[in-house]
Structure 1
Amino acid sequence: MALFATRAEILAPAVTGTRNVLRASHAAGARRVVVVSSVGAVIVNPRIPDGAVVDEDCWSDEDYCRATENWYCLSETLAECEALAYGEKAGTTTTTTTDVVTVCPPWVLGPLLQPTVNTTSMRLVSYLTGENTDEKMRNMVDVRDVAAALVLALETPGAASGRRLICSAHAMKVSEMVGLVRSLHPDLKQLLDYPREFVQVEDEKGVSSKRLQALGWKFRTAEETLRDTIDSYKAAGILS
């Protein structure tokens, strides 16, 4: 997905695509469908107080997303609402029940599955190179831990009762991440050791993964995630 995609390019495919996949899954007799959403459907809400840590009961404000033209977070919110509403309907109006569970990860890091640079990877690279100097608290999780969360959501009977599961491992300042990468990868000294001044912007809202952890979910340390992320970037030639 392009970083600056238009409203039309994001909203319709997200909602329609979610609906079509759920219909096909239900028609095939699937007993449970796990939908990957985003904390973008959770935290974009001006009514959340600064410093608050929110759980799955919190939703992004659709009107606020429209007013600020945050089409990505609006698309994630609408698509997740569509998924959960479909699950409720499928469980009450048809003979075959299809549970729908949504998993909401934040910024996903970890080893790349492809040699190309996606939007998430470019964001981290821009912080490392100094192209982006925004200082903020960001929620993050390892892609391997997201995969484990999806398996738990699919296979654990108790997951259905929660419906939504936030999947976030760490909250770190951008400058802290860059400093950690510097300590873990001294070979990148030429890239990372130069004068830089971060500019404080609004922090992301904090999120709680207690519901997912209650199902047995565990996550990697930030050190392991960032070390392996950079190793994969180097192998793909992204930081060369």
Structure 2
Amino acid sequence: MADGGKMVCVTGASGYVASWIVKLLLIRGYTVRATVRDPSDAKKTEHLLALEGAKERLKLFKADLLEESSFEQAIEGCDAVFHTASPVSLTVTDHQIELIDPAVKGTLNVLNTCAKVSSVKRVIVTSSMAAVLFRVPPLGPNDSVDESCFSDPNFCTENKLWYALSKTLAEDEAWRFAKEKGLDLVVINPGLVLGPLLKPSLTFSVNVIVDLITGKDNFINKNFRLVDVRDVALAHIKAFETPSANGRYIIEGPVVTINDIEKILREFFPDLNLVNKNEASEIIPVIYKLCVEKVKSLGIEFTPTETTIRDTILSLKEKCLV
């Protein structure tokens, strides 16, 4: 038990990563105030209320990213705030309304409240590798990526990378605000997050595996860097519990190809009707080198990719999502 007895707030608590942050916080003895858009929506809250320790130490609060001061009640009296709430989508009708406003204004609303609440010692914001990787000139195989790399908003706009733009602008604003107000801010930048689901519905990232199983997408010549949802959640908590933690933390695993993933699926689940595709004639080279020493310094040990993929599938089967 690291910091039992402390009270913390998790925004967007019904989300994929956020649910795991809540679960691990409860296991570690924290009292958690969780914000959701609609506390009466059982589909969004049941999995949280079922967590070990939830009855005694979890309280749900209604909050909306675009409503100023809507997080005040939840954050009042908390030692730390984990701000994970932000829309994730690659297909939007209006990127400004659906992605950018909630990401940027929502982050500023939460940080603004944190700056006013004297009990808040540190704010941990969930960003993304999308706020790291998109720049001019594009990353090449010999380029090293670390915490000093930021995506270029102009590049994202020109290439209509709206999700990347939303995460980049939100993170830029967060750093600007934190500097201005003297707020102790730490940012976590995960890659493609996989691993078991606590929530009952699919997430954008886990869909990659579902599409592979159902043959919905043609993934030939694709490669991924995966990171386990449990590692990402723990990194958030360690970023609060480690006094010296500061700045950004990239958390992303080694490269796996679609062929690697298929191999794992067939090994563990021979009964799955994987759609036979021609072996990829040539795997696209990895586009950058990665330094994850900083997040390892928090005491994060990466879950093996095979374990992550296997646990993702077991969880999908258990929730009847495949």
Same fold (TM over 0.5): yes
In structure 2, the partner of 1:77 is 168
Taking CA–CA contacts closer than 8 Å with sequence separation of 6 or more, which of the two structures ends up with the larger relative contact order?
1
Gaps of 5+ in 1: 92-97
How far apart in 1 are the matches of 2:144 and 2:224? 13
Does 2:94 match 1:20? no
In structure 2, the partner of 1:31 is 121
In structure 2, the partner of 1:140 is 226
In structure 1, the partner of 2:292 is 209
Which stretch of structure 1 is more off in the superposition, 129-138 or 101-110? Answer: 129-138
Count how many residue pairs are aligned between Structure 1 and Structure 2. Answer: 229
Q: For residues 204 and 108 of structure 1, do their structure 2 counterparts lie closer, same or farther at Cα, with a shift above 3 Å needed?
A: farther
CA contact (8 A) 1:139 1:206 kept: no
* Residues 33-87 of structure 1, C-alpha deviations (whole Å, 9 max, x = no match): 0000000000112422234330011111111100000000011011111111111
* Residues 100-122 of structure 1, C-alpha deviations (whole Å, 9 max, x = no match): 01000000000011121121122
Higher helix proportion, which one? Answer: 1
Shift of 1:169: 2.3
Where does 1:122-201 land on structure 2 (aligned, <5 Å)? Answer: 122-134=207-219, 135-160=221-246, 163-188=247-272, 191-192=273-274, 194-198=276-280
Alignment RMSD (CA, Å): 1.9
- Residue 193 of structure 2, aligned match among 98, 105, 108: 108
CA contact (8 A) 2:223 2:257 kept: yes
How far apart in 2 are the matches of 1:51 and 1:237? 42
CA contact (8 A) 1:168 1:208 kept: no
What is the DSSP-based 3-state SS (H/G/I as helix, E as strand, rest coil) of the residue aligned with 1:120? Answer: coil
CA contact (8 A) 1:84 1:101 kept: no
In structure 2, the partner of 1:11 is 100
CA contact (8 A) 2:142 2:289 kept: yes
In structure 2, the partner of 1:63 is 154
In structure 2, the partner of 1:219 is 302
CA contact (8 A) 2:140 2:287 kept: no
Q: What letter corresponds to residue 152 of structure 2 in structure 1?
A: D
Q: What letter corresponds to residue 74 of structure 1 in structure 2?
A: L
Q: For residues 46 and 179 of structure 1, do their structure 2 counterparts lie closer, same or farther at Cα, with a shift above 3 Å needed?
A: farther
What is the DSSP-based 3-state SS (H/G/I as helix, E as strand, rest coil) of the residue aligned with 2:198? Answer: coil
Q: For residues 238 and 61 of structure 1, do their structure 2 counterparts lie closer, same or farther at Cα, with a shift above 3 Å needed?
A: same
Q: What letter corresponds to residue 16 of structure 1 in structure 2?
A: K
How far apart in 2 are the matches of 1:182 and 1:204? 27
CA contact (8 A) 2:249 2:294 kept: yes
Shift of 1:123: 1.9
How far apart in 1 are the matches of 2:255 and 2:277? 24
Does 2:300 match 1:231? no
How far apart in 2 are the matches of 1:173 and 1:205? 15
How far apart in 2 are the matches of 1:125 and 1:202? 24
- Identity of matched residues, %: 35
What is the DSSP-based 3-state SS (H/G/I as helix, E as strand, rest coil) of the residue aligned with 2:149? Answer: coil
How far apart in 2 are the matches of 1:133 and 1:202? 18
Q: For residues 178 and 2 of structure 1, do their structure 2 counterparts lie closer, same or farther at Cα, with a shift above 3 Å needed?
A: same
* Residues 201-228 of structure 1, C-alpha deviations (whole Å, 9 max, x = no match): 6855443211111222112111111111
CA contact (8 A) 2:141 2:288 kept: yes
